[in-house]
Structure 1
Amino acid sequence: MTAPAKNTVCLWYDGSAEEAARFYTDTFPDSFITAVHRAPGDFPSGKQGDVLNVEFTVMGIPCLGLNGGPMFAHNEAFSFQVSTENQAETDRYWDSIVGHGGQESACGWCKDKWGVSWQITPAALIKAITNPDPDAAKRAFGAMMQMRKIDIAAIEAALSG
């Protein structure tokens, strides 16, 4: 038996922590649900026996989904950044999040249907915008600023001028 993680990301949901955890674990590799805990008594946003929290891992990051109620909403101040190796992987994650009730944002950011922000970030993008040639990096950065989902071919075209 392994010891619990000393640091866990706690994500607040309004009754849908288990649904969110199942979506994340179905979407991303190295992701799984460890436990679903039911409330031993009534609480402000639920009743005894309702799912209170869900322990899960997303791409190796330990998380706790807490069904805390409607008082707090997710925002862009927190996001998961997912590094991708190619356009197919970028498209798969983006399309899964956006296509499952989420919404597109700018520069590789999107939100899932629960309001959690995700940065779907191809490794090629990071390499391009940190290019030692400042003009090439600026072109790649300018191309990224016009995008929603990152288009690796367009980033590479901007990089080469």
Structure 2
Amino acid sequence: MQKISPCLWFRNEAEEAVDFYVSIFPNAKKGEVLRSGESGPGPAGSVVLVNFELFGQSFQALNGNSDETFNNSVSLSVDCKDQAEVDHYWEKLIDGRGKGLACSWLKDRYGVAWQIVPELLPRLLIDPDKAKAARVMAAMMKMVKIDVATIEEAARG
């Protein structure tokens, strides 16, 4: 049993967001949906909380009915095996309504920040060859979506 589950606080679109995320990630699961009773919160039958899983990680989506918004101080990072996987998750999460930020970061249509990271990037950034790591960092800092071929080229010098 997972001891800690991130809870994402949405205004009123928790179930819509969960359905969106579950449609993107393989083997994702939408779990129990908690709805308001006669005594609230919210109108009877409205969604309060939705449990879901992405890659076996449990999450909660809460309708907070608040003006609070997501910010970049917390993001969800997706490790990708190659450029095709980077492209897949990037395009699906942006889906025409999100936006790329910088250095693998994007915000989806709900304002949730994501990092779409090819698995080779962190390895190259901590490479014992400091010049190689610096070239990779410099290349990454010019990118929004990570381009694996450009990162590999920077690593080769």
* Structure 1: tracts of 5 or more residues without a match: none
Deviations 1:27-71 (A, max 9, x none): 112321111121113546x31111111011122211111001133
| Higher mean displacement: 15-24 or 25-34 | 25-34
Local SS of the residue matching 2:149: helix
RMSD value over aligned CA atoms?
Answer: 1.4
| Cα distance change, pair 53–100 in 1 and its aligned pair in 2 (3 A) | farther
Alignment of 1:39-78 (within 5 A): 39-41=36-38, 43=40, 46-78=42-74
State the match for 2:93 in structure 1.
97
Give yes or no for the alignment of 1:23 onto 2:45. Answer: no
- Cα distance, 1:7 vs structure 2: 1.5
Deviations 1:88-135 (A, max 9, x none): 000000011112421111000001111111000001111211111100
Give yes or no for the alignment of 1:106 onto 2:102. Answer: yes
Local SS of the residue matching 2:122: helix
* Structure 2: tracts of 5 or more residues without a match: none
Local SS of the residue matching 1:149: coil
State the match for 1:13 in structure 2.
10
Q: Which amino acid aligns with 2:105?
A: W
| Higher mean displacement: 125-134 or 148-157 | 125-134
| Higher mean displacement: 139-148 or 67-76 | 67-76
Q: Whole-Å Cα distance in 2 between the matches of residues 136 and 103 of structure 1?
A: 30
State the match for 1:158 in structure 2.
154
State the match for 2:83 in structure 1.
87
How many residues matched?
Answer: 157
| Cα distance change, pair 41–72 in 1 and its aligned pair in 2 (3 A) | farther
Q: TM-score, normalised by structure 2?
A: 0.94
Q: Whole-Å Cα distance in 2 between the matches of residues 41 and 9 of structure 1?
A: 28
| Cα distance change, pair 68–42 in 1 and its aligned pair in 2 (3 A) | farther
Q: Whole-Å Cα distance in 1 between the matches of residues 107 and 26 of structure 2?
A: 19
Q: Whole-Å Cα distance in 2 between the matches of residues 70 and 100 of structure 1?
A: 25
Q: Whole-Å Cα distance in 1 between the matches of residues 77 and 56 of structure 2?
A: 13
| Higher mean displacement: 21-30 or 8-17 | 21-30
